[in-house]
Structure 1
Amino acid sequence: MSTPPSALRLSAVELILTFSLLFGVTTVVRWVVGPSALSEAVPGTRQQLFIIGAVVGALVVGLVLSPLGRRSGAHMNPAISVAMWRFGVIPGSAVGFYVTAQLTGSLLGVLAARGVWGDVAATAPVTYAALRPAPDWSAAGLFVAEAVTTGVIVLLVGVFTALGHLTRFTPYMVGVVVCLAITLLGASTGGSANPARQFGPALAAGQFSFLWVYLLAPMLGAAMGTVARDLLLGHRRVLTGPAA
């Protein structure tokens, strides 16, 4: 378990990782969706979502396997941090530090992307890569979808990190799941399953509709995922965690 000073250091690492993730997300959306030769060559929404999903999934894998990622656990997602607390990987006293760092990194990441790519990152169709559900989705439907998606991710992470023969494949599994969520759900729910994914983009874009859903539903989903993991495997100890 982390001591308070170590929790502060690790949360600083989470800020850097989440900053990198959101900078990368905004960047790939800028070039795949915004005005560019790539967006003209791949005009279909589903194809664009697949490219975005593949690049973001690969980015997630790279960040998890990086030295910084190995140090903090590379949650980059408040829902994952809550799950890791429930799994006994980090102490409850560290969760607030992690979540604050992740949300701060999210906002700083999209603002940095705006600084690099200019106004095109802030205007439609990029709009800081902020998510919004399809017009026919209600807040209740979106809440259920985001909670269930996050619950499945947490369940898979909990299973993979608890079973020794699967643990080393966890980063790649997460990358594939992120790619699938973006590709399959991007046009309907946004495929977030991560409060930090929407927090920075929504604040920067002034897009507050459904923000509470994107923030709260994954947290409930994380709780459900940990319960499902415990029902499936019992209170088996997770085999990986942040380095002190």
Structure 2
Amino acid sequence: MPISRIAIGSPAEASQPDALKAALAEFISMLIFVFAGEGSGMAFSKLTDNGSTTPAGLVAAAIAHAFALFVAVSVAANISGGHVNPAVTFGAFVGGHITLLRSVLYWIAQLLGAVVACLLLKFSTGGLETAAFSLSSGVSVWNALVFEIVMTFGLVYTVYATALDPKKGDLGIIAPIAIGFIVGANILAGGAFDGASMNPAVSFGPAVVSWTWTGHWVYWLGPFVGAAIAAIVYELFFIHQTHEQLPVAEY
């Protein structure tokens, strides 16, 4: 069972150079991702007089986030694993791929990266507000919670299949592309309903800077639940298999 592989880690791990470098890589990647993703929405809104809520704005947000996440994951992959998301880190923790103490380092770095990115955006745009995630009219917190669970499940499942699975082989080369694509696709699916966060840090940064917390818990609980389910499902059925696979040549 994947739960049996969960590790707390040693307190000394927090001061190890490789752990600190990994946390710094997560901070920088999150800053890059949020600055580009959130900034694209602010730019589109300015150019189109709040047109970010239109279909074209949704497509622009999906493309910007997909491209930015592809880059952010790629530049951190060889240092920290390129999580760029507290939910992805939590999923890796549930599957035993990272200790709790290192996860905490990653979470702190990721949240700081998102906040700093939003502060830089506010300063560089002359005081424009970074829009906090919110629910659309007619969408309840429970609707949004299901959206976040399902979308984050798809994201973390993709991370497992392309990056964490020891059998991934050459598939690992396209992991950043696949991860960026699933986030972009999910934004097209859920962006009009709850903003399609899938990432607690992405929600946290704008919430801190704009000090808007309405329904904010949805953007933590949903991604963490979705990540945990994806980790358990993938570890249980595809990594820790209980039956012998037929050789590929048999098919």
Bin the TM-score by the shorter chain.
0.7 to 0.9
Q: Structure 1: how far apart are the matches of 2:60 and 2:72? A: 18
Q: Measure how far apart 1:61 and its partner are.
A: 0.8
Amino acid at match of 1:202: A
Distance 1:188 1:78, change over 3 A: same
Q: What is the aligned partner in structure 2 of residue 108 from structure 1?
A: 116
Specify every segment of 5 or more residues in structure 1 that has no aligned partner in the other structure, as ranges: 123-127, 237-244
Aligned length: 225
Paired position in structure 1 for 2:183: 178
Q: Is the 8 A contact 1:150 1:218 kept in 2?
A: yes
Aligned position for 1:141: 143
CA distance in 1, matches of 2:192, 2:122: 23
Q: 1:1-244 counterparts in 2 under 5 A?
A: 3-4=13-14, 5=16, 6-33=18-45, 35-36=46-47, 39=48, 45-66=54-75, 68-119=76-127, 121-122=128-129, 128-161=130-163, 162=165, 163-235=168-240
Deviation at 1:178, TM superposition (A): 1.2
**Greater relative CO (CA pairs within 8 A, separation 6+):** 1
User: Structure 1 CA distance, aligned partners of 2:95 and 2:160?
Assistant: 8
Query: Which structure's CA Rg is the greater one?
Result: 2
Aligned mates of 1:89, 1:48 — CA distance in 2: 37
Do the aligned residues in 2 keep the contact of 1:64 with 1:70 (CA within 8 Å)?
A: no
Paired residues of 2:154 and 2:182 also in contact (CA < 8 A): no
Query: In the alignment, which residue of structure 1 is the partner of 2:248?
Result: none
TM-score (norm 2): 0.83
Any stretches of 5+ residues in structure 2 without a counterpart?
A: 1-8, 242-251
Q: Is the 8 A contact 2:94 2:232 kept in 1?
A: no
Find runs of 4+ consecutive structure 1 residues off by over 6 angstroms: none
Q: d(CA) in 2 for partners of 1:87 and 1:132? A: 31
Structure 2 equivalent of residue 241 of structure 1: none
Q: How far is the alpha carbon of 1:43 from its aligned partner?
A: 7.5
Length-normalised TM-score, structure 1: 0.85
Say if 1:181 and 1:192, in contact at 8 Å, map to a contact too: no
C-alpha distance in 1 between matches for 2:204 and 2:53: 27
**3-state secondary structure, aligned to 2:155:** helix
Q: Distance in 2 between matches of 1:159 and 1:231?
A: 13
Q: Name the CA shift for 1:158/1:69 in 2 (closer, same or farther; >3 Å).
A: closer
Deviations 1:138-162 (A, max 9, x none): 1122112111211121112112221
Overall identity of the aligned pairs, in %: 27
What is the alpha-carbon distance in structure 2 between the residues aligned to residue 215 and residue 44 of structure 1? 23
Aligned equivalents of 1:20, 1:167: Cα separation in 2: 22
